[in-house]
């Protein structure tokens, strides 16, 4: 990423990393009807394109939207792009994240709240197999470091997707053997710098595809996409909650018709304040074979 407002923003995020975590109890309203993210007033007309645009991730301060796109102008088939949010709330013209992209596919971006750790998935050579999770760190003067593979205790000979970090855990999905479905959700312990061996996430997986998880900042709510029975279309967005990070997850529930469609709806990403959810969808009416969509919910009076 260029030394620009985006870099300044991630440095500023690091200063916020010392803040105390959100209170566990959150009272939240219902999700609104999802709309194209490009419909946010003032947003650049190229946010969505005629190519695939998906795998969104909104940074902690809500001023950078990362996503994967197959649009022209990138280094490979799929590249990671980002858009900066103006003071008016509109998303600006997409910018190629040159520091992480290669001639291979890059997708599923995720920025840690410390502002200096960035995860993504790549099919570049030299990994464990398929698509692997990589990490880069931001240096104040040298910029983003050369991305490194997280290793084969996290990655596998199959494909991994959608890393999502809290202070103590990383959730992601994998098509590796050993799980009940074609794609399953895994979890790894995280101590701020290193990752433990991956294990199946208890209570979230089925014999169907369960993929691309995203954690709320306090680790008490999780979103993912699945084609399990009970949904509306092919892949739908589901959610589970827990009262403490050491507690089991509740049985997952589908978000319903305001968010999901008869098409594929996937890779949800929750904003830091837990009120806005971005995701990809190939529903009718879009510009390409997948577009970025957004839905919101209210934080009810008297909650943190």
pLDDT tens digits for range 64-102: 999 999 999 999 999 999 999 999 999 999 999 999 999
**Phi and psi based region of residue 104 (left: phi greater than 0; alpha: psi -120 to 50; beta: remaining):** beta
Provide the pLDDT for residue 113: 86
On the question of pLDDT at 1 being above 90, the answer is no
Q: Over range 45-69, report the average pLDDT.
A: 97
Domain range annotation of the chain: 5-16+30-296
**Within a 10 A sphere around the Cβ of 85, how many other Cβ atoms?**
21
Provide the pLDDT for residue 19: 30
pLDDT band per the 50, 70, 90 thresholds, residue 193: confident
pLDDT digits (tens, 9 = 90+) for 121-143: 999 999 999 999 999 999 999 99
- Tell me, what DSSP letter sits at residue 134? E
**Alpha-carbon gap, residue 254 to 191, rounded angstroms:** 31
Could you tell me what percent of the chain has a pLDDT over 90?
A: 85
Provide the pLDDT for residue 14: 35
Nearest to 221 by CA among 243, 254, 188, 189: 243
- Give the lowest-confidence range in 3-7, 104-108, 195-199, 257-261: 3-7
Tell me: domain 5-16+30-296, CATH 3.30.70.980, correct? no
Are 226 and 252 contacting, i.e. CB atoms less than 8 angstroms apart? yes
**Alpha-carbon gap, residue 91 to 88, rounded angstroms:** 9
**Alpha-carbon gap, residue 193 to 290, rounded angstroms:** 34
Provide the pLDDT for residue 7: 42
């Amino acid at each position: 990423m260029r030394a620009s407002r985006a870099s300044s923003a991630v440095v500023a995020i690091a200063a916020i990393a010392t803040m105390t975590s959100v209170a566990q109890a959150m009272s939240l309203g219902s999700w609104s009807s999802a709309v194209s993210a490009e419909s946010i007033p003032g947003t650049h007309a190229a946010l969505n394109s005629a190519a695939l645009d998906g795998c969104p991730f909104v940074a902690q301060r809500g001023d950078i939207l990362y996503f994967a796109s197959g649009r022209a102008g990138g280094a490979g088939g799929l590249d990671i792009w980002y858009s900066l949010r103006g003071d008016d709330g509109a998303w600006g013209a997409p910018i190629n994240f040159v520091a992480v992209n290669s001639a291979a596919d890059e997708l599923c971006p995720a920025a840690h709240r410390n502002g200096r750790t960035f995860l993504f998935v790549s099919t570049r050579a030299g990994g464990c197999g398929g698509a692997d999770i990589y990490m880069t760190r931001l240096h104040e003067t040298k910029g983003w470091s050369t991305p490194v593979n997280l290793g084969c205790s996290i990655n596998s000979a199959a494909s991994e997707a959608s890393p999502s970090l809290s202070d103590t855990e990383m959730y992601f999905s994998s098509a590796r053997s050993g799980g009940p479905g074609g794609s399953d959700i895994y979890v790894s312990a995280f101590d701020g710098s290193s990752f433990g061996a991956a294990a199946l996430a208890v209570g979230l997986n089925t014999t169907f595809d369960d993929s691309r998880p995203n954690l709320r900042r306090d680790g008490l709510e999780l979103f993912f996409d699945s084609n399990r029975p009970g949904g509306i279309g092919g892949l739908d967005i589901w959610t589970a909650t827990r009262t403490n990070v050491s507690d089991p997850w509740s049985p997952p529930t589908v978000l319903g018709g305001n968010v999901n469609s008869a098409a594929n709806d996937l890779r949800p990403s929750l904003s830091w304040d837990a009120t806005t959810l971005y995701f990809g969808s190939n529903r009718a009416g879009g510009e390409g074979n997948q577009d970025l969509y957004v839905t919101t919910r209210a934080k009810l009076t008297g909650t943190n």
